[in-house]
Amino acid sequence: MEKLIIDQTKVGDIKKLIALCPFHALEERDGKLEINAACKMCRLCVKQGPAGAVTVQETEDRRPALDKDQWRGIAVYVDHVDGEIHPVTYELIGKARELASKIGHPVYALFAGSGLSEQCRELLHYGVDAVYVYDQNALEHFTIEAYTNVLEDFIENVKPSSILVGATTVGRQLAPRTAARVKTGLTADCTILDMSPDTDLIQIRPAFGGNIMAQIHTPDHRPQMATVRYKIMTAPTRSEEESGEIIPCLLPEKKLHSNLDVLEVLPKAPETSIEACDVLVVAGRGVKKEGDLDLLRELAALLGGQLACTRPMIEAGWMDAKRQIGLSGRTVRPKLIITCGVSGSVQFAAGMNNADHIVAINTDEKAAIFRIAHCCLVGDLYEIVPGLIAKIKANRGLYHDGI
């Protein structure tokens, strides 16, 4: 570990030194130079400031050495509403199985709620070694305090090496709170996970607006925690046989308390999200005006799919934010995706490049979307899309006539 030491007697022109820091981490307080939390240890102030004004000092690392052998197993948090398991859970179990096999660790599922006896058996069809179940009335509805206590209790008793959590509305609250509670690291929205032989989880995710893929490790802390969005990993096939065991757990009464009273849970009106669609037609900036979206809507409807879009469509106020694909939107994995007037930026592609079949329509033959498309249609969407619609309708007519 290193820290910066300031020698106030050598600072000289304080304003000049402050101006050196590109991160605004140097400031003047009561006539003295101070370093704030924005410091990135870039050392510009050390190298370019007056000699000896700011120096780097090695500090002793007082953290107790981590015995990684004490932490075993890859655990998956079971995301559910009223016992109905979110499919991201199965995807994470599949990934956990793959990671665990590299280091000879077991796979666990952690299930908290009320009246779960049937649902926890279902998990045994997906290759978990054990399902730890906290089945208590007070856990009927998700409350952040009680559920964080569940995770903490599980971590203290089971000592899993890694915990994978779905990046759902619940997971996005629960994972960071738990990580802070047990003082460990968390990588949000991982797109790739791997395991090194020393049980360090290799957590990879886009960073700096998708321009780089950051590889993040948590070598000095356990458990290692990561969230992963729905449809990033592949769910294993359900086996007919059950395997593994169910381990009932009990959270002490005082840890079940929540400052929130859930009075009623009202289901939202059902809507098909773009993540759940097998066919998507995507509108990009190549669409000239809002009314032209109807053309793409018609194509989507003919194919039994929905209309999605790139970010500029949201910024223009033409479409709902729930329909945006990409890094700051949704991740989709449809069987067929047809992009219309989409350039294929890294931020967009990160949300759809796992689609089974990608058809791209773009006037620019050098557009980046053509590098990931399986079928490249170079041309004007205003000619190609009506042509496609006409062809589909004509074919439907033939089928309807029984030919």
Ligand X SMILES: Cc1cc2nc3c(=O)[nH]c(=O)nc-3n(C[C@H](O)[C@H](O)[C@H](O)COP(=O)(O)OP(=O)(O)OC[C@H]3O[C@@H](n4cnc5c(N)ncnc54)[C@H](O)[C@@H]3O)c2cc1C
Interacting span for ligand SF4 (CB under 6 A) from 16-24, 195-203, 256-264, 306-314 = 16-24
Beta carbons of 335 and 357 less than 8 angstroms apart: yes
223 binds, among ligand X, ligand SF4, none (CB under 5 to 8 A by kind): none
Question: The tokens of 226 are what?
Answer: 């990561």
212 beta partners:
207
Please, which of residues 349-378 interact with ligand X by CB under 6 A? 351, 361-364, 367
Beta carbons of 277 and 332 less than 8 angstroms apart: yes
The footprint of ligand X on this chain (CB under 6 A) covers a number of residues equal to: 28
276 near ligand SF4, rule: CB under 6 A: no
The one among 166, 286, 305, 334 contacting ligand X by CB under 6 A = 286
Minimal CA–CA distance to 214: which of 179, 232, 234, 187? 187
326 near ligand X, rule: CB under 6 A: yes
43 near ligand SF4, rule: CB under 6 A: yes
Interacting span for ligand SF4 (CB under 6 A) from 6-14, 15-23, 66-74, 321-329 = 15-23
Interacting span for ligand SF4 (CB under 6 A) from 42-50, 118-126, 343-351, 368-376 = 42-50
Query: What is the DSSP-derived secondary structure letter of residue 270?
Result: P
279 beta partners:
336
18 near ligand SF4, rule: CB under 6 A: no
Instruction: Classify 149 in phi/psi space as left (phi over 0), alpha (psi -120 to 50) or beta.
Output: alpha
The one among 5, 19, 41, 214 contacting ligand SF4 by CB under 6 A = 41
The one among 341, 355, 358, 360 contacting ligand X by CB under 6 A = 341
Phi and psi for 28 in degrees, rounded to 5?
Answer: -100, 130
The one among 348, 370, 373, 388 contacting ligand X by CB under 6 A = 348
Query: What is the DSSP-derived secondary structure letter of residue 348?
Result: H
Query: What is the DSSP-derived secondary structure letter of residue 104?
Result: T
- When the beta carbons of 113 and 286 are compared against ligand X, the nearer one is 286
Phi and psi for 151 in degrees, rounded to 5?
Answer: -60, -40
Beta carbons of 109 and 132 less than 8 angstroms apart: yes
25 binds, among ligand SF4, ligand X, none (CB under 5 to 8 A by kind): ligand SF4
360-368 own/partner pairs: CB under 8 Å, 24+ apart: 361/286, 361/385, 362/286, 363/286, 367/342, 367/343, 368/343, 368/344
The one among 161, 162, 168, 310 contacting ligand X by CB under 6 A = 310
Question: The tokens of 180 are what?
Answer: 């802070």
The one among 5, 19, 42, 66 contacting ligand SF4 by CB under 6 A = 42
Beta carbons of 203 and 166 less than 8 angstroms apart: no
Q: What's the min distance (Å) between Cβ of 217 and ligand SF4?
A: 23
What residues make contact with ligand SF4 under the rule CB under 6 A? 20-21, 23, 25-26, 35, 39-45
